């Protein structure tokens, strides 16, 4: 009798394993879909904030024009002309060309006060995006997410200012969760194929990447990487 039941038991086990596999696959797919919905929702929320800020700036300008005695509010605008005093002539030309192009959503604003850097951060690091600003490196965390937030920029544009950063300098990152503060822990020069500093991290970190040397004719052979850790004394540390 036991010999007759054995194949049935085996087939039943296989069927249960198959059903469990389908269930787990379905659960994983639902989780991915939910995560993407939440991400897109957060992006839309940030865009709404940018629109509100732009409207506020426009209203301040109108009030100032009608009443010169008033003092308008000061804020960041993605349309503000950047300081291009350190930029290469070709990069300035590329920036001007990019002004007529449509770009993906803005996810935040990166500031390094010690070197006067202030730049919008877009959700990709395409050439077009970096002609205009800075972008999140594909596969790395977004500014409002945990993990390693990788941001790339051109060495002869916005990120040329990074040549003067020092360990201990502060990085401010305006995100969907509010302002986050980071402290620069290290600056490193690596070969352009070395990506070990771009790996995900358990703690929230910021990794800034640009080509190196900063003044180089042609394709730069190395990368200059700034690594910063979250300031846990700040209220926005999620």
Query: Over 50: is that where the pLDDT of 136 sits?
Result: yes
C-alpha of 89 from chain center: 26
> Which pLDDT score, from 0 to 100, does residue 166 have?
97
Q: Tell me the CATH class for 89-230.
A: mainly beta
Query: Over 50: is that where the pLDDT of 55 sits?
Result: no
Question: What are the residue numbers of the active site?
Answer: 154, 211
> Which pLDDT score, from 0 to 100, does residue 207 have?
98
Length of the chain: 238
Query: What pLDDT, in 10s, does the model give residues 69-105?
Result: 332 322 345 556 788 999 999 999 999 999 988 888 8
CA distances from 33 to 30, 75, 232 (A): 5, 35, 31
Write the CB contacts of 125 (distance below 8 Å, at least 6 apart in sequence).
134, 135, 136, 137, 138, 151, 152
CA distances from 141 to 41, 186, 197 (A): 16, 19, 13
Domain ranges for the chain: 1-75, 89-230
Nearest C-alpha neighbor of 224 from the set 161, 171, 181: 161
> Which pLDDT score, from 0 to 100, does residue 50 have?
52
> Which pLDDT score, from 0 to 100, does residue 20 have?
66
Query: What pLDDT, in 10s, does the model give residues 14-35?
Result: 666 667 667 666 655 555 455 4
The β-bridge partners of 183 are: 170, 229
- Write out 163-228 in H/E/C secondary structure: HHCCCCCEEEEEECCEEEEEEEEEEEEEECCCCHHHCCCCCCEEEEEEEECCCCCCCCCEEEEEEE
Nearest C-alpha neighbor of 50 from the set 109, 10, 97: 109
pTM over 0.75: no
CA angle 119–92–222, rounded 5-degree value: 70
Query: What pLDDT, in 10s, does the model give residues 177-236?
Result: 789 999 999 999 999 999 999 999 999 999 999 999 999 888 899 999 999 999 987 655
> Which pLDDT score, from 0 to 100, does residue 104 have?
86
Query: What pLDDT, in 10s, does the model give residues 140-169?
Result: 999 988 999 999 999 999 999 999 999 999
Over range 46-72, report the average pLDDT: 42
Query: What pLDDT, in 10s, does the model give residues 110-128?
Result: 999 999 999 999 999 999 9
């Amino acid at each position: 009798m036991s010999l007759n039941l054995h194949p049935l038991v085996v087939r039943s086990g296989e069927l249960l394993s198959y059903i469990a596999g389908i269930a787990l696959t379905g659960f994983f797919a639902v989780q991915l879909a939910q995560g993407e919905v939440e991400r897109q929702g957060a992006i839309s929320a940030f865009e709404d904030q940018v629109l509100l800020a732009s409207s506020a700036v426009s209203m301040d300008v109108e009030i100032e024009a009608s009443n010169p005695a008033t003092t308008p509010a000061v804020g960041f605008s993605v349309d503000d002309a950047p300081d291009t005093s350190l930029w290469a002539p070709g990069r300035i030309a590329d920036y001007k060309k990019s002004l007529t192009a449509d770009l993906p959503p803005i996810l935040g604003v990166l500031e390094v006060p010690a070197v006067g850097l202030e730049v919008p951060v877009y959700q990709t690091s395409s050439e077009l995006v970096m002609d205009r600003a800075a972008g999140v490196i594909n596969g790395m965390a977004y500014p409002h997410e945990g993990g390693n937030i990788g941001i790339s920029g051109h060495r002869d544009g916005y990120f040329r200012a990074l040549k003067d950063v020092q360990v201990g300098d502060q990085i401010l990152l305006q995100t969907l969760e509010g302002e986050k503060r980071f402290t620069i822990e290290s600056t490193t020069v690596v070969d352009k194929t070395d990506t070990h500093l771009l790996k995900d991290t358990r703690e929230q970190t910021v990794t800034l990447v640009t080509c190196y040397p900063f003044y180089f004719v042609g394709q730069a052979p190395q990368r200059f990487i700034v690594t910063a850790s979250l300031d846990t004394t700040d209220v926005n540390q999620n």
